[in-house]
Chain A
Amino acid sequence: MRYIPLSEQDKQQMLERCGVTDINALFCHAPQHTLDPAYNLPNHMGELEVERHLVSLANKNKDFAHNTSFLGAGCYRHHIPATVDMVIQRSEFLTAYTPYQPEIAQGTLMALFEFQSYISTLTGQPVANASMYDGATAMAEAALMAQRVTKRSNIVYDTDIHPDYKAVLKTYLSHIDGEFTESASPAETVNEQTAAYIVQWPNFKGDIADLNKLKSTCQQQGALLIVVVTEIVALGILPAPNQADIVVGEAQSIGNAMSYGGPHLGFFACQESMVRQMPGRLCGQTTDADGRTSYVLTLNTREQHIRRAKATSNICTNQGLCALAFTVHMSLLGEQGFKQLAQINHQNACHLADALTSLNGVQVLNTTFFNEFVVRLPFSAPKLVADLANEGILAGYALNDTDLLVCATEMTTNEDMHHLVQAIRIEIEGK
């Protein structure tokens, strides 16, 4: 086996030092009848065989490198500069552990500090942690934190939140006392028992709410405002959501591949007053024995390995390498590049919206949007998705029988848009 270096001679010498002759003597505390059962599995394969098998599986998938796509819905196709993958494949980043030994982990730590700084400044929140599993779990953890901070148990959330996010919230809160109300009219539903109101921004259908109004509704009742962002590129064009008390979401768009939905990159930012109630790891700046600026994981007493049952969350492993990919990509973009990227996304989406509305009977339902919006079709949206998939066009996400959620990014070419428009035109004219 190519990954296991011990030779037979090594093993003999080592067994000898252990004072045994047989490896199973080291398993003497296990019930002996359970040792070496039969496994209905193949024996090992060489690198070439493994590669052939996995390439054959990969080839059965219609990927975005060879097909046209307008799918978004919380997972976005963006261009990833070559530098990003070069950096995250560097052994010292890829094969490092959580930076618990800061003297030999300054690379990871400084990158996490930069990550936290970027998330903080993008979201307009004073503090951010070193990542969460994904946007959906980050939102659930935000609701739990709001309950701790406000000592209230009810949560109200907007209707147009990503369905997976709502589902995960429901799972996380399933055993907790309190009411969980879905409501598009917070002015009527948020009250003095509400811990937080949650809104996605832009929402699942692409619309962009007025946060000032929501903020004042929450403030009147002493509830926190949680803003969820699933497309972080939007923050290059929208003003920072600094009306929020907590901003969480998904940052996969920057530096991370779609990878069939994971690993992605949850983020968590909030007001400074809540920092000791935050879940997850935090990296802080300090000095070493020589007075040099250094970085270290800090405020660990919130966490499970110190606080155990009283920890703010059970989270341990997070999305370190995905956070690094984000940090590299965001560093390349910088102030100007990130804004330009957002504007190109918006412009392409505007073009797509115009092209689609030029078709007879097709209507864009949004009054506002960033790079994603809903079109109402004069025929079955799920059927369109299924039919076009066969032709190599992933048309979008069907919300119901007539409505299709479509997305354009900097990857979307005029030709792509033309393909979709033509396909829909044929469908309409064929009717």
Chain B
Amino acid sequence: MTVNKRNPQGLLLEEVLLYEQSHSGRMGVDFRAVSLSKDEQRTGLPLRESIELPEVSEPQVVRHFVRLSQKNYGIDSGFFPLGSCTMKHNPRLNEKLARLSGFSQIHPLQPQSTVQGMLELMFNLQNWLNELSGLAQTTLCPAAGAHGELTGIMMIRAAHEDKGNARKVVLVPDSAHGTNPATAAMNGYKIVEIKSDTNGLVDIQALDAAIEKHGTDIAAFMLTNPSTCGLFEPNILNIAEKIHKIGAYFYCDGANFNAIVGKIKPADLGIDVMQYNLHKTFSTPHGGGGPGSGPVSVCAELTPYLPIPLVVKEGDNFKLIEEAPKSIGKIKGYHGQAGMFVRAYAYMLSHGKDGLKQVAEAAVLNANYIMHSLKDDYFMPFNGPCMHECLFTDKQQKETGVTTLDIAKGLTDYGFHPMTTYFPLIVGGAMLIEPTETEPKEAIDEFILTMKELANIAQQNPEAIKQMPQHTPRKRLDEVTAARNPILTYQMSRQTQA
């Protein structure tokens, strides 16, 4: 492979790995000369010889990553209706504030007297989340949503153990995110799946049967509300009552909190524990897969089990509680993803209670608007109204052999990020569309028109859609070979070529 491919390709510039641009002696930093003799070294081991890192200059590094960035699509690039992922606008103010040296250049083990501003921010953030959830207390420690789930189920386990029996089973609807069963399993629980009914909701009969069968072996019910079908669970109070009756806890996966933030308090729905994804509802950037942040709020009964540390206020001072007799302990190094707390807190202040209510309402209105606009073009498995996301399937397109995958790839050719595909698993060929509240109506209308166009192409010229995308940095990838013969590093790729 060479760097100079002389094909006319306009601004879609090809870029190879920095390893392939490496020339001995190049460097992107200037350090003072240092040469350690053997006697001067106190590591007790010989100096490292070759590492095999590439050698490139600063301009090369800049150009490399700028070119790579141009092969990416972000929420700043355009509409990103990825269901259950809440790809909303990421205000740059929050980035600026997180970079203030008073937040970014402080160490987690500094004396607490020297980080009172940070602790105050964390205390305020805990309180905002307490208030928005209606629950008693919040831990900021978990690093991401799934980590928050893990923390939540650990607390539930600890509470049951405290009562003498950890119990054995966690109930999870079949529409749940994969993290829910994976989390319960990581905690040593057996998962009992609750089927959804024909409306995409929790099948109450199936729930009753599970309760009948497993009774007080049930530790918790993990529900996503609004569900991954974008539906508000209408029987939620009834479900909560059933769960509480057997002494189990009602866990809510808060991944979809954007639909009800500032509008409904989860505690009022009978929920005992809920994690947030600050990188969804509270707009900390997804960063191409993280970092996230997954605080968890709990009801009063569970507060003794919260992980450490927790921030409290004593007089005028803020303090980290680093020991608690019943705490599940530490879930992450230090105190959580503090840089994300700054961003989320700035986001909350910018919105206030009035703005957050608008968030939920606009997110729900946008999704329903899309649902009503596309219901003749795509099959709608469940009736609405939906919440912050709407669900379609490829049932109508399949007549000509066109699938959800094709529609998704087609969207990229029209400059949109696809919706979430093939999830939830309870319908075939799912297309889960979440517009969020930060899209102008024109962007949504353009998306609707494109979806109609794709439905049209699927019917008239299905072969064309199978060839999409054509105008993206890459065409469809050979994912089968990637998994069969994994090449995970440059070194492995060189071996493969050799």
Q: Are A47 and B93 in contact (CB under 8 A)?
A: yes
Q: Are B385 and A26 in contact (CB under 8 A)?
A: yes
Q: Are B353 and A110 in contact (CB under 8 A)?
A: no
Q: Are B110 and A62 in contact (CB under 8 A)?
A: yes
In the assembled complex, the Cα of A210 lies from the Cα of B46 at a distance in Å of: 12
Q: Are A61 and B52 in contact (CB under 8 A)?
A: no
- A315: chain B residues at CB < 8 Å are 144, 146-147
Most buried by B among A31, A91, A101, A309: A309
Residue A275 lies at the interface, judged by CB distance under 8 Å to chain B: yes
In the assembled complex, the Cα of A250 lies from the Cα of B48 at a distance in Å of: 20
In the assembled complex, the Cα of A90 lies from the Cα of B124 at a distance in Å of: 30
Residue B100 lies at the interface, judged by CB distance under 8 Å to chain A: yes
- A20: chain B residues at CB < 8 Å are 385
Q: Which of B32, B46, B74, B474 contacts A106 (CB 8 A)?
A: B474
- A167: chain B residues at CB < 8 Å are 329-330
Main secondary structure of the interface of B (DSSP, over half): loop
- A285: chain B residues at CB < 8 Å are 482, 487-488, 493
In the assembled complex, the Cα of A62 lies from the Cα of B335 at a distance in Å of: 18
Residue B365 lies at the interface, judged by CB distance under 8 Å to chain A: yes
Q: What 0/1 readout, one digit per residue, does chain B (331-367) give for beta carbons within 8 Å of chain A?
A: 1111111111010011001111111011101101110
Residue B379 lies at the interface, judged by CB distance under 8 Å to chain A: no
Q: Are B182 and A311 in contact (CB under 8 A)?
A: yes
Query: Which of A190-198, A219-227, A234-242, A419-427 participates in binding chain B?
Result: A234-242
Given A113-B489, A321-B290: A305 touches B178 (CB 8 Å cut-off) = yes
Residue B55 lies at the interface, judged by CB distance under 8 Å to chain A: yes
Q: Are A264 and B47 in contact (CB under 8 A)?
A: no
In the assembled complex, the Cα of A361 lies from the Cα of B31 at a distance in Å of: 35
Q: Are B102 and A304 in contact (CB under 8 A)?
A: no
Interface residues of A in 260-284 (CB under 8 A from B): 260-264, 275, 281-284
- B90: chain A residues at CB < 8 Å are 94-95
In the assembled complex, the Cα of A298 lies from the Cα of B269 at a distance in Å of: 39
Q: In whole Å, how far is B240's beta carbon from the nearest beta carbon of chain A?
A: 10
Q: What 0/1 readout, one digit per residue, does chain A (302-346) give for beta carbons within 8 Å of chain B?
A: 011111111101111111111010001011111111111111101
Smallest Cβ-Cβ distance to B92: which chain A residue: A89
In the assembled complex, the Cα of A107 lies from the Cα of B17 at a distance in Å of: 11
Q: Are A282 and B488 in contact (CB under 8 A)?
A: yes
Interface residues of A in 353-379 (CB under 8 A from B): 353, 366-370
Q: What 0/1 readout, one digit per residue, does chain B (283-306) give for beta carbons within 8 Å of chain A?
A: 001111111110000000000000
In the assembled complex, the Cα of A264 lies from the Cα of B340 at a distance in Å of: 11
Q: Which of A14, A74, A296 contacts B477 (CB 8 A)?
A: A296
Q: Are B185 and A309 in contact (CB under 8 A)?
A: yes
Q: In whole Å, how far is B207's beta carbon from the nearest beta carbon of chain A?
A: 17
Query: Which of B209-217, B243-251, B260-268, B395-403 participates in binding chain A?
Result: B260-268
Q: Which of A111, A263, A275, A344 contacts B486 (CB 8 A)?
A: A275
Given A44-B352, A298-B479, A331-B56: A318 touches B109 (CB 8 Å cut-off) = no
Q: In whole Å, how far is B362's beta carbon from the nearest beta carbon of chain A?
A: 5
Q: Are B72 and A105 in contact (CB under 8 A)?
A: yes
Q: In whole Å, how far is B354's beta carbon from the nearest beta carbon of chain A?
A: 5
Residue A409 lies at the interface, judged by CB distance under 8 Å to chain B: no
In the assembled complex, the Cα of A342 lies from the Cα of B29 at a distance in Å of: 13
Given A111-B65, A175-B166: A290 touches B329 (CB 8 Å cut-off) = no
Q: Are A394 and B95 in contact (CB under 8 A)?
A: no
Q: What 0/1 readout, one digit per residue, does chain B (384-427) give for beta carbons within 8 Å of chain A?
A: 01010000000000000000000011001000011000010000
In the assembled complex, the Cα of A136 lies from the Cα of B438 at a distance in Å of: 36
Most buried by B among A71, A176, A264: A264
Smallest Cβ-Cβ distance to B333: which chain A residue: A136
- B198: chain A residues at CB < 8 Å are none
Q: What 0/1 readout, one digit per residue, does chain A (284-305) give for beta carbons within 8 Å of chain B?
A: 1111111011101011110111
In the assembled complex, the Cα of A1 lies from the Cα of B360 at a distance in Å of: 13
Residue B237 lies at the interface, judged by CB distance under 8 Å to chain A: yes
In the assembled complex, the Cα of A126 lies from the Cα of B490 at a distance in Å of: 10
Residue B252 lies at the interface, judged by CB distance under 8 Å to chain A: no
Interface size class of B (residues with CB under 8 A): 35 or more
Residue B469 lies at the interface, judged by CB distance under 8 Å to chain A: yes
Q: Which of B28, B117, B150 contacts A334 (CB 8 A)?
A: B28
In the assembled complex, the Cα of A113 lies from the Cα of B337 at a distance in Å of: 24
Smallest Cβ-Cβ distance to B493: which chain A residue: A285
Q: What 0/1 readout, one digit per residue, does chain B (303-337) give for beta carbons within 8 Å of chain A?
A: 00001000000000000000000001111111111
Residue B462 lies at the interface, judged by CB distance under 8 Å to chain A: no
Q: In whole Å, how far is A103's beta carbon from the nearest beta carbon of chain B?
A: 4
Q: Which of B28, B42, B65, B263 contacts A27 (CB 8 A)?
A: B263
Residue B184 lies at the interface, judged by CB distance under 8 Å to chain A: yes
Q: In whole Å, how far is B350's beta carbon from the nearest beta carbon of chain A?
A: 5
Q: Are A368 and B102 in contact (CB under 8 A)?
A: no
Q: Which of A33, A91, A99 contacts B289 (CB 8 A)?
A: A99
Residue B273 lies at the interface, judged by CB distance under 8 Å to chain A: no
Q: Which of B185, B191, B333, B479 contacts A264 (CB 8 A)?
A: B333
- A1: chain B residues at CB < 8 Å are 351, 354-355, 358
Q: Are A41 and B128 in contact (CB under 8 A)?
A: yes
Smallest Cβ-Cβ distance to A119: which chain B residue: B489
In the assembled complex, the Cα of A170 lies from the Cα of B307 at a distance in Å of: 12
- A60: chain B residues at CB < 8 Å are 102, 116-118, 120
Q: Are B290 and A318 in contact (CB under 8 A)?
A: yes
Q: In whole Å, how far is A406's beta carbon from the nearest beta carbon of chain B?
A: 12
Given A60-B117, A69-B107: A103 touches B146 (CB 8 Å cut-off) = no
Residue A120 lies at the interface, judged by CB distance under 8 Å to chain B: yes
Smallest Cβ-Cβ distance to B74: which chain A residue: A95
Smallest Cβ-Cβ distance to B114: which chain A residue: A62
Q: Are B29 and A332 in contact (CB under 8 A)?
A: yes
Q: Are B72 and A39 in contact (CB under 8 A)?
A: no
Given A35-B263, A42-B352, A103-B477: A98 touches B150 (CB 8 Å cut-off) = no
Q: Are A34 and B265 in contact (CB under 8 A)?
A: yes
Given A75-B108, A262-B332: A127 touches B115 (CB 8 Å cut-off) = no
- A333: chain B residues at CB < 8 Å are 27-29, 53
Q: Are B28 and A331 in contact (CB under 8 A)?
A: yes
Given A34-B265, A133-B143, A286-B479: A59 touches B117 (CB 8 Å cut-off) = yes
Q: Which of A39, A136, A304, A328 contacts B146 (CB 8 A)?
A: A304
Q: Which of B40, B45, B58, B76 contacts A350 (CB 8 A)?
A: B40
A63-B104, A308-B178, A314-B182 known; 4 new pairs, CB 8 Å cut-off, are: A31-B269, A44-B350, A259-B106, A288-B476
23 A/B residue pairs, CB under 8 Å, sorted by A: A23-B361, A26-B365, A54-B349, A58-B100, A62-B115, A64-B101, A71-B109, A91-B76, A93-B287, A96-B287, A113-B490, A121-B491, A235-B51, A236-B48, A238-B45, A258-B106, A260-B334, A264-B333, A286-B479, A300-B483, A320-B290, A331-B61, A331-B64
Q: Which 9 A-B pairs have the closest CB atoms?
A: A58-B102, A261-B334, A321-B287, A261-B108, A60-B117, A320-B289, A332-B28, A95-B74, A91-B76
